[in-house]
Amino acid sequence: MPESSMIGSRIRERRVMNGIRQSDLARRVGISPSYLNLIEHNRRRIGGKTLLDIADALEVEPALLSEGAEATLITGLREAAGAQAAQGVETDRTEEFAGRFPGWARLLVDLHGRAGALQRTVETLTDRLAHDPHLADSLHEVISTVTAIRSTSSILVETEALEPEWQNRFHRNIDEDSRRLAEGAEALVRYLEGAANTEVEIKSPQDELLAFLSANDFHFPALEVGAGPQVAKKIVEQAGALVSDAARRLALDALEQYRADAERLPLKPLLEEMRRDPAPERLAQLFGGDLPAVFRRIASLPESEVGLVGLVTCDASGALIHRRPFPRFAMPRDAGACALWPLFQVLGQPQVPVRVRLRQAGRGQETVLALAVAEQLAPATFERPALMRAHMLILPDGSDRSEGEVRDVGVSCRICPLRDCPARREPSIVADGF
């Protein structure tokens, strides 16, 4: 849905935020309350003088209503404010800030992202120093050699009347050890230099995977035509976005899954059936696949064919392991996601899919349709629990907005304005909700 069609939602959000009743606003701008209601539910187009009047009455720039500040930008700003736990940030005016100073806002979000990436780099490097077996071995070798040299040389210096045989022997040992020390030091330097170059910008492997998949729009035509495993390997080898070995392994796994899914649900018949009726359960039945495969398949189709699609996958620990972003449904990058998402609900009831309309707090009145299902990757044994994975497909909500139940959820607690939420695990920095 284009941004301009969301004007009504933004008007409503702003009005509620300002504490003005619908009828009062209607009277002030000289239109009927029922007409304003239609506008607020995006059922009537609005522009020109009415928009200017409403903006005036709500004391906002008309552009803020007509263009809206980019939703991702606002989420980014909230994340930044949340991560810094900053005092005195006017979080209640985030949208206004993003609307009036989009350039500054983007810069802030970029810097926040960069700070996060650098922090991960530091953590990775610290981790490497603490746990790198090669580094530990090299250092041990150097210290052992230094110990031998120190002990031997002080014998030579301190022992009076040292017999020539011993003298020769210790001289030889020092010579031997100093050569070993030189080699060890050189190897160490070479290793440290090499290590710095191999993974220039250390992002998490998941970040690299997401960048790689996004750059391909989550769609790989080469894997759609009964391709062999070599094709997936080749794509991974040629991908510039995949820097670390770990990311390449993740990408290879993802593409292998893609290939298997594409085999079970071939592109052409799938698209034909989706045009007829895109209900995932019908597609699953028709192609003899399961719901997770259908979800993954839908989320691997080009936007030009299926419109907006989002997908998020987690394991039993709740860690988000795969995602295709959805423009109007934010997914946290590093914080834990909202516990109210149906994604986590289905982990407790595998084989029972859940369909629910979601409204993400702080994002106006927009709703999305979420379909969630869990699958078992490996059965439980007496040694370990079953390996579970849950998927949540996110689609535009096509149903009548005024009908049916809607679940209010958040992104993650730090930036969530929902009040009295029983699922809250830490205080929010967003002032007092809307």
Partner 1 sequence: MGKRVLLIEDEPNIIEAVSFILSRDGWDVKTHSNGHDAIDAVRARAPDLVILDVMLPGKSGFDILQEIRADGELATMPVLMLTARGQVKDRELAEQSGVSRYMTKPFSNADVLEVVRSMVAT
Which residues sit at the interface with partner 1, rule CB under 8 A? 139-140, 143-144, 146-148, 150-152, 154-155, 158-159, 166, 169-170, 173, 176-177
Q: Between 114 and 172, whose beta carbon lies closer to partner 1?
A: 172
Q: At its nearest, how many Å lie between partner 1 and the CB of residue 182?
A: 15
Residues 6+ apart with CB under 8 A from 288: 264
The answer for residues whose C-beta is within 8 angstroms of residue 327's C-beta and 6 or more apart is: 71, 72, 308
Our CB check for partner 1 shows the closer of 21 and 172 to be 172
Among candidate residues 327, 324, 390, the one with its CA nearest the CA of residue 354: 390
Residue pair 372/353 in contact by the 8 Å Cβ criterion: yes
Comparing CA positions, the residue from 76, 60, 101, 68 lying closest to residue 1 is: 68
Give the chain's count of helices (H) and strands (E): 18, 6
Taking the complex as a whole, the smallest distance from the CB of residue 135 to partner 1 amounts, in Å, to 13
Residue with smaller CB distance to partner 1, 165 or 432? 165
Q: Which amino acid is at 291?
A: L
Question: From CA 68, how far away is CA 13, in angstroms rounded?
Answer: 11
Q: Minimum CB separation from partner 1 for residue 160, in Å?
A: 10
Tokens of 207: 């970040």
For residue 193, the minimal CB distance to partner 1 (Å) is 23
Cβ closest to partner 1, residue 141 vs residue 253: 141
Residues 6+ apart with CB under 8 A from 226: 263
In whole angstroms, how far apart are CA 221 and each of 231, 292, 389?
Answer: 11, 21, 26
By DSSP bridging, strand 354-360 and strand 406-409 are parallel
Complex with partner 1: residue 179 or 190, whichever CB lies closer: 179
Between 145 and 360, name the residue whose CB sits nearer to partner 1. Answer: 145
Quote the CA–CA distance of 235 and 222 in Å, as a whole number.
9
CB closer to partner 1, 23 vs 154? 154
Q: Specify the amino acid at residue 85.
A: A
Residue closer to partner 1 by CB (options 84, 154) is 154
Residue 396 DSSP SS3: strand
| CB 136 to partner 1: min, Å | 9
Q: What share of the chain is helix, strand, coil (3-state, %, to 5)?
A: 55, 10, 35
Compare residues 180 and 264 and give the one whose CB is closer to partner 1: 180
**What DSSP string describes 217-254?**
TT--GGGSS---HHHHHHHHHH-TT--SHHHHHHHHHH
How far, in Å, CA of 235 to CA of 232, rounded?
A: 5
The smaller minimum CB distance to partner 1, of residues 16 and 185, is found at: 185
Instruction: Calculate the alpha carbon distances from 296 to 22, 280, 352, 372 in Å.
Output: 42, 11, 17, 12
